[in-house]
Amino acid sequence: MTRIGVTGHRGIPAAALPSVRAGIRAELRGCAGTEALSSLAAGADQLFAELALDHGIPVTAVIPGMDYEAHLGGDEVRAAYQRLLKASSSRVKLPPEATHEEAYYAAGRWIVDHADRLVAVWDGRPARGLGGTADVVRYARRNGVPVRVLWRPGVVRH
């Protein structure tokens, strides 16, 4: 079984969304015997999980060791999280970490450590805190996990 993990920004600008969606679909197309790994956070994680499920690919939800759901965002994001969590074929609940940032980074590392390749919805900029997309991409590259970066050139994340 091939495992594809995801890391990415919570906020994807509208100008980048069509190319990100198309890139994820291309990564998932024709991937029989594939499993998707996602933390189901807002933005890239939820989009990836939704598209994987649309392609009939089972999703493993990787839950950071913290009061995760309370920090996901507004009601709409939490409702999407609950829906995707119920649709997931399995869950991995990670042990508690000292800080939220450490919990996010631990989840990103777990995904990389269990993935054959990583999809990164990333603008190429440095992480805004420990465990951000840039940190997970760097960890994957350092550990020899292939990374496919999806972003529309010229689009700036706010």
Note whether residue 101 is domain-resident. Answer: yes
List the one residue out of 41, 42, 35, 33 whose CA is nearest residue 88. Answer: 35
Note whether residue 156 is domain-resident. Answer: no
Note whether residue 145 is domain-resident. Answer: yes
Note whether residue 82 is domain-resident. Answer: yes
- What is the distance between the alpha carbons of residues 122 and 87, in angstroms, rounded to a whole number? 26
The whole domain housing 112 covers 2-150
Note whether residue 158 is domain-resident. Answer: no
- What is the distance between the alpha carbons of residues 80 and 63, in angstroms, rounded to a whole number? 15
pLDDT at 32: 78
Tell me the CATH number at 17.
3.40.50.450
> Count of domains in the chain?
1
Query: Which one is predicted more confidently, 126 or 158?
Result: 126
CA angle 36, 87, 77 (to 5 degrees): 90
Q: Does the CA dihedral 147-150-155-156 come out positive or negative?
A: negative
Note whether residue 88 is domain-resident. Answer: yes
- What is the distance between the alpha carbons of residues 10 and 17, in angstroms, rounded to a whole number? 12
The pTM for the full model equals: 0.96
- Position 39 pLDDT exceeds 90: yes
Contact 48, 119 (CB under 8 A): yes
DSSP H/E element including 7: strand 2-8
- Position 34 pLDDT exceeds 80: yes
Note whether residue 155 is domain-resident. Answer: no
Q: What is the pLDDT of residues 71-115, one digit of tens each?
A: 888 999 999 999 999 999 999 999 999 999 999 999 999 999 999
